[in-house]
Amino acid sequence: MTGMRGRGARRVVRWTGWTAVYALGLVALAFSGAWVWWQPEPGARGTDVNALWARHQWVGEPHTDAEYRALGDLLKQNRISDVYFHAGPFEADGTVPPSKYRYAGQLLAAVRKYAPGVRAQAYLGQIRMVDGHGVTDLDDPAVRERVLKTDAAFLDVGFDGIHYDFEPIYPDDASFLVLMDRTRELTRSRGRLLSVALEQPPLFDALQPVYKAFVPRHGPVHYPPRPTERFLNEIADRADQVAIMTYDVSLPTRSLAGWHYARHTRRTLELIGDRATVFMGVPTYRPLVGWAEDLTVALRGIRRGVDDLDRPPKRPFGVGVYADWTTGPDAWTRYRAAWPPSATTGSGH
């Protein structure tokens, strides 16, 4: 019996060893395949339609004329068409105290003077209350009404649109869709824009029910608020612009991180690129988690994703730079080298 147990243990060890070798082989194959795919230079160039998330100080603090002029020069030089100026966040009741954006009027006048044609949008959001956790309860109709009144106040100041960034937004969030409907009515009636920032979609929509059944939406371990294809379509039916927060990629190599950006770019543009302007978010910071992601990798990956399209989308598209407070001169130089079309190539796709 002892010998039989010994032979059984050896078989288990051999089986475990071969399984480990097989798994490592698959991992090596994936890494090498991604490396080979990553090597060719993308053919696609960037576009003249790009967004920038900008810090709250632009609306909350005074600036000199020279500072405004420098901002305008930066926007024009880097082909930025839309700036999301942080103007919130919302209070729990759906309001924003006017004292938080007391210099918005001066900012908007300066943008029109030094960067004519650039759309300045009010970037508004908050931690969305879900299952009793969070700050702003969008399930409360009274809160949604105050959010809409706050939006109207920002449009009265002169902003060209409203940019929502509520987090988390899960793909079963009917109240958020109601808010989007009402906000779209408001912005359309004023001839303005409605834009929204969303998390990147999941690898497979089929995983969402599994996450919902077995993983909580709060706590140290929770499932991420990824928009399904259906939800992304519902958002595109309501928004003029959709910005996908594609950044924070926890992948160990540049080729795998680039594949992440390429895959999301192709999938998103194929899904909603004919109905809404799409901005693929790119970071100008080094994430705390992840070895390989940076601005250059993100831009190259997005261009590879554009290369993979069967045809360009009917609506404009570009990148969303996150963010102005982490983007120094060196980062802008890398951005211009990798993304905006040159004067001789036109405006890209």
Average model confidence (pLDDT) for the chain? 88
**Do residue 126 and residue 176 come from a single domain?**
yes
**Do residue 26 and residue 126 come from a single domain?**
no
Q: Is 278 helix (H, G, I), strand (E, B) or coil?
A: strand
- The residues, any chain, with a CB within 8 Å of residue 87's CB and separated by 6 or more, are 56, 59, 96, 100, 101, 104, 122, 123, 124, 154, 159
52 in any annotated domain: yes
**Do residue 193 and residue 248 come from a single domain?**
yes
Per-residue pLDDT of 84-108, as tens digits, reads: 999 999 999 999 999 999 999 999 9
* Residue 305: per-residue pLDDT: 97
* Counted domains in the chain: 2
**Do residue 292 and residue 194 come from a single domain?**
yes
Query: Residue 266 — pLDDT band, cuts 50, 70, 90?
Result: very high
Nearest Cα neighbor of 92 from 131, 128, 130 is 128
**Do residue 1 and residue 118 come from a single domain?**
no
**Do residue 22 and residue 135 come from a single domain?**
no
**Do residue 140 and residue 278 come from a single domain?**
yes
Q: Which residues pair with 244 in a beta bridge?
A: 198, 280
- CA 11 from centre of chain: 50
DSSP line for 192-259: -EEEEEEEPPPS-TTHHHHHHHHS-SSSSS----PPPHHHHHHHHTT-SEEEEE------SSHHHHHH
Per-residue pLDDT of 44-73, as tens digits, reads: 989 999 999 999 999 999 999 999 999 999
347 in any annotated domain: no
CATH number at residue 123: 3.20.20.80
| Percent of the chain residues past pLDDT 90, beyond the cut | 74
Compute the average pLDDT of residues 178-190: 98
**Do residue 2 and residue 65 come from a single domain?**
no
253 in any annotated domain: yes
345 in any annotated domain: no
The angle subtended at Cα 247 by Cα 249 and Cα 107, nearest 5°, is: 160
136 in any annotated domain: yes
**Do residue 70 and residue 106 come from a single domain?**
yes
**Do residue 53 and residue 185 come from a single domain?**
yes
Write down the pTM of the prediction.
Answer: 0.88
344 in any annotated domain: no
- The residues, any chain, with a CB within 8 Å of residue 56's CB and separated by 6 or more, are 85, 86, 87, 100
**Do residue 16 and residue 110 come from a single domain?**
no
343 in any annotated domain: no
Residue 345 confidence (pLDDT) above 50: no
Question: To 10 degrees, what angle do helices 254-272 and 229-236 make?
Answer: 60
d(CA 159, CA 122): 6
List C-alpha distances in Å: 53 to 29, 267, 323.
38, 23, 5
Residue 142, φ and ψ in degrees, nearest 5: -65, -40
* Residue 6: per-residue pLDDT: 57
d(CA 134, CA 132): 7
Q: Is the distance from CB of 240 to CB of 180 less than 8 angstroms?
A: no
Q: Is the distance from CB of 84 to CB of 54 less than 8 angstroms?
A: yes
**Do residue 201 and residue 231 come from a single domain?**
yes
* Residue 21: per-residue pLDDT: 46
Q: How many residues does the chain have?
A: 349
Q: Is the distance from CB of 242 to CB of 277 less than 8 angstroms?
A: yes
349 in any annotated domain: no
Q: Could you list the residue range(s) of the whole structural domain that residue 90 is in?
A: 48-338
| Percent of the chain residues past pLDDT 70, beyond the cut | 81
Per-residue pLDDT of 156-177, as tens digits, reads: 999 999 999 999 999 999 999 9
